[in-house]
Amino acid sequence: MPEFSELRTVGLFAVTALAEIAGCYLPYLWLREGKSIWLLIPGALSLMAFVWLLSLHPTATGRVYAAYGGVYIFMAIMWLWTVDGIRPSTWDIVGSFVALCGMAIIMFAPRST
């Protein structure tokens, strides 16, 4: 598989996080908000897309899973703002930035082969 650029890696993580969050949010709407049970179908498809997208990274799975967590945190805070309509606090933003720094260190630090 060809080398991934940093931008492509972060973009893939972001799309992966959206798939995971949507895949969890849709069943939540059914369970907690009384929405249609039919939301489980796109929710399941979204979670399948999440698993597939996470598998596209060409590095060790443990490293991918650890680094992905940082992007997930950022995307969840963005979801809080855009979908839930709650403006993130300063601490939400600082925490997201710290998580993204952790992702960058894990994914992009020089490694011996």
- The domain ranges of the chain are 6-107
Helix %, strand %, coil % of the chain (to 5): 75, 0, 25
- At 59 the pLDDT is 82
- At 30 the pLDDT is 97
- At 4 the pLDDT is 64
pLDDT beyond 50 at 5: yes
Contact between 57 and 12 (Cβ < 8 Å): yes
Q: 113 in helix, strand or coil?
A: coil
Q: List, as own/partner pairs, every contact residues 53-57 make where C-beta atoms lie below 8 angstroms and the sequence separation is at least 24, other chains included.
A: 53/12, 53/15, 53/16, 53/19, 54/16, 56/12, 57/4, 57/9, 57/12
**Mean pLDDT, residues 56-78:** 91
Q: Residue with structure tokens 């680094």?
A: 67
Model pLDDT for residues 9-61, shown as the tens digit of each residue: 899 999 999 999 999 999 999 999 999 999 999 999 999 999 999 999 878 88
pLDDT beyond 80 at 1: no
- At 2 the pLDDT is 46
| pLDDT interval class at 6 (50, 70, 90) | confident
- At 51 the pLDDT is 94
